[in-house]
Structure 1
Amino acid sequence: MSFARERLNVLAALGTGILVGGGGVLLYFKLNGNANRELLRLSAAVSDLRREIIEIKERLIETAGSRQSASVSSSLRRNRGSGYFSVHASSGEDDVYEEATEGSSDLESNRDYRTPEARSPTPSVVISDTLTNKEFYAEVDKHLDGSDWDKEQAYEALQKRQLRCMSDPEFLWRLSKACYLMAGIEGDRGNPEKKKELMFESKDHADSAIQLNEECASAHKWLACALGAVAEYGGTQERIKSAYVIRDHMQRAIDLNPSDPTAHYLLGRWCLGVYMLTWIERKVAATLFGTPPTATVEEALDHFIQAEELKPNQWKENMLFISKCYIELRDIEEAVKWLEKASLLSSNSTDDRTIQSEVDALLQKHRG
């Protein structure tokens, strides 16, 4: 799962985003009065810069293939698990990151636009509608963790089975996940309205699953992801409020299923984002809501380590964020160790190669 993407580091002026991977848990604070007018001017300048970056990136992709030269990170973004853009603090660093959990984007992603046949010489078997629920869910789970072609097959199979399974929370949380992942795919195909529609559907399906069974951990997890993405379409205060709700659903998912590595990873991302809030952003949050969210880098690291223990030596992106925590703690030796471990894992997907680009950049910066 690939955890959402960090944007340009302009937080002192534009506010902050806290992002979960995929999707993005978003707190977005704006200043008022004269300062706000200055922010609008700066925002326009940043938008122009982003457009130029997009043009440069597209030219690089055309001439250099899928390998990215910038320091980037992928997300729950979409399992990318995910992901969607938001402004993200970087605690004084000047690095520009890109990410995205399962994970909307202002920049073009690295998605593979080849036909399903070209992407998958031996495509997965289409999911049969005659399977029992248990067999059907096993096939859907396998496809949702596969290629984009596999994800589309899972989404279509769930759609066909929808009328007879809408009272089953196990079906609904899988449909929520499929809608979330398909939203990322549609967004990268240049279909923003379809992406938005699917994100709201993802939220509704996860919410319905919880209404049927409040103790469904996966429903809480995917509701948190969907709420983070849907919040990007709302106003400032809605985004701020949603961050607290998202945190609560992620924590509930862990309480119900502490052995889920993805839930720990997502809450780790949330904690890291909150930890990186600047002083002025905390003051603005306190003004609006009385008490700003709090978290420490140690809390973030604890969740990332738990995710690693639950899914050992398999998750390149989680290792990357473990190293980022150690960098924040000024333990560069330990950070480099985790970056080197991440490099040993193969990069079989576009997302993995994107993550590896950032791993390489951090190794070059911090290795002695």
Structure 2
Amino acid sequence: MSFSKSFLVGIGTGLLFGSGVTILCIRLQRVAREMDSLSNAIAELATQMSVLAEHLSTLRGFKQRKKRNEFYSASSGDEDEIFEDANLSFISSDSDISKGSKNRSTEDKILDTHVLFNKVEKLFEGDEKNQEEAFRLLSRSAPQHSADCGFHWRMSKACYLVSKIEKSRDNPAKAKDFLQQSVDHASSSLKLDEKCSSAHRWYAISLGSYGEHLGSQEKIKNGFLIKDHIQRSIDLKPNDPFNHHMMGRWAYSVYMLSWMERKLAATLIAAPPEAKIEDALESFLIADRLRPTIWKENLLYIAKCNIELKRLDEVAKWLEAADAVPVQTKDEEEAQKEIDQLLPKYQTS
């Protein structure tokens, strides 16, 4: 019975039976109120404990986000600005209950955000349908997350993945539009939190990918900007293998520019980007140490750096290691095609 009903019943009983019984009724009423209040407090505590258990379970899922048990891909990653533990306060008085009720909607919103991001991260690791579903989920929740850095870099990633899907479907206009959205969301995430490693990472990725739609001069200028954001991502998250892999890819691409491309770059900008193959190799080796022997694309690029350095025994070793990693993603399919072409040239037996 609620407090208000107990109170009304107590008054009615006193009027009916007179003053002697009224005293007893008042005392019984007081006891009933105290018991009712205790019952409510216990029920509220049980509710809060249930919310806390669910909340901590979700946070644990973020900190131990499901990764591939055996293999790592350049398309996986982040990335993951994991959310800090939130403290839930237990309620022990009527005034606290009132405050708790007001705060609960905020806690539920935080919890919903965690659940959304966790689901989206899992979908990113799936096939094209999963990745498109991740994009739809994020798009539907956009109005509630306009000021959330974590939302925007994830939206940048989703747009990038959908752009790749549209490109594979021979829809270049849609692919370009999604890439532009990827750049815009990454830029928004940086404005919201300049110290977010994943924001810098996805700005570098999206800007680099959009380069195919730009003129030579703008593309070359962006090369410096891309490197700066990769380096910033490394500074913020030095133990993330993907950041070092990205730096290796940047250095390798610059090193592999043809003589003609270098001459053209020099005419467009006074000091075009430069890189040594040794720098690229070092970045790939750091990524391998952080995520050893199980990343097909990274192993392939270590082999390719050794080809440029004429270390043929090393080439065969790294190609064979890359070939042993099962194919699970489209990026790995592309890497495997290149491995299949190179292996016959460099295998020692």
For 1:351 and 1:293, how far apart are their aligned partners in 2?
A: 26
Answer with 1 or 2: which has the greater Rg.
2
Percent identity over the alignment is 44
Deviation at 1:184? 0.5
Give the TM-score normalised by the residue count of structure 2.
Answer: 0.66
**SS at 1:215's partner residue?**
coil
Q: 1:295 aligns with which of 256, 271, 275?
A: 275
1:107-186 residue pairs with structure 2 within 5 A?
132-186=112-166
Q: Relative to structure 1, is the Cα distance of residues 160 and 225 closer, same or farther in structure 2, using a 3 angstrom cutoff?
A: same
For 2:278 and 2:293, how far apart are their aligned partners in 1?
A: 21
Q: What are the Cα deviations for residues 52-72 of structure 1, in whole angstroms up to 9, with x where unaligned? A: xxxxxxxxxxxxxxxxxxxxx
- Structure 2 residue runs of 5 or longer lacking an equivalent are 1-72, 78-108
Q: Relative to structure 1, is the Cα distance of residues 238 and 354 closer, same or farther in structure 2, using a 3 angstrom cutoff?
A: closer
Q: What are the Cα deviations for residues 184-204 of structure 1, in whole angstroms up to 9, with x where unaligned? A: 101111222211111111100
| Cα pair 1:80 1:351 within 8 Å, conserved | no
**SS at 2:126's partner residue?**
coil
**SS at 1:132's partner residue?**
helix
| Cα pair 2:166 2:174 within 8 Å, conserved | yes
What's the counterpart of residue 10 of structure 1?
none
- Structure 1 residue runs of 5 or longer lacking an equivalent are 1-74, 82-128
What's the counterpart of residue 303 of structure 2?
323
Q: What are the Cα deviations for residues 230-284 of structure 1, in whole angstroms up to 9, with x where unaligned? A: 2222222111111111111111111111122222112111101111223443333
Stretch of structure 1 that moved more, 251-260 or 279-288: 279-288
| Cα pair 2:220 2:273 within 8 Å, conserved | no
What's the counterpart of residue 196 of structure 2?
216
What's the counterpart of residue 263 of structure 1?
243
| Cα pair 2:197 2:234 within 8 Å, conserved | yes
Q: Which stretches of structure 1, 4 residues or more, deviate above 3 A after TM superposition?
A: 278-281, 348-351
For 1:363 and 1:259, how far apart are their aligned partners in 2?
A: 31
- Report whether the alignment pairs 1:304 with 2:281: no
Q: Relative to structure 1, is the Cα distance of residues 130 and 152 closer, same or farther in structure 2, using a 3 angstrom cutoff?
A: farther
- Number of matched residues? 245
What's the counterpart of residue 276 of structure 1?
256
The amino acid that maps onto 2:262 is R
Deviation at 1:131? 5.7
Give the TM-score normalised by the residue count of structure 1.
Answer: 0.63
Q: Cα RMSD between the aligned structures?
A: 2.1
Q: What are the Cα deviations for residues 104-143 of structure 1, in whole angstroms up to 9, with x where unaligned? A: xxxxxxxxxxxxxxxxxxxxxxxxx996212221221121
For 1:251 and 1:226, how far apart are their aligned partners in 2?
A: 15
| Cα pair 2:163 2:179 within 8 Å, conserved | yes
For 1:221 and 1:348, how far apart are their aligned partners in 2?
A: 23
Deviation at 1:224? 0.9
For 2:340 and 2:176, how far apart are their aligned partners in 1?
A: 34
Q: Relative to structure 1, is the Cα distance of residues 176 and 339 closer, same or farther in structure 2, using a 3 angstrom cutoff?
A: same
| Cα pair 2:200 2:229 within 8 Å, conserved | yes
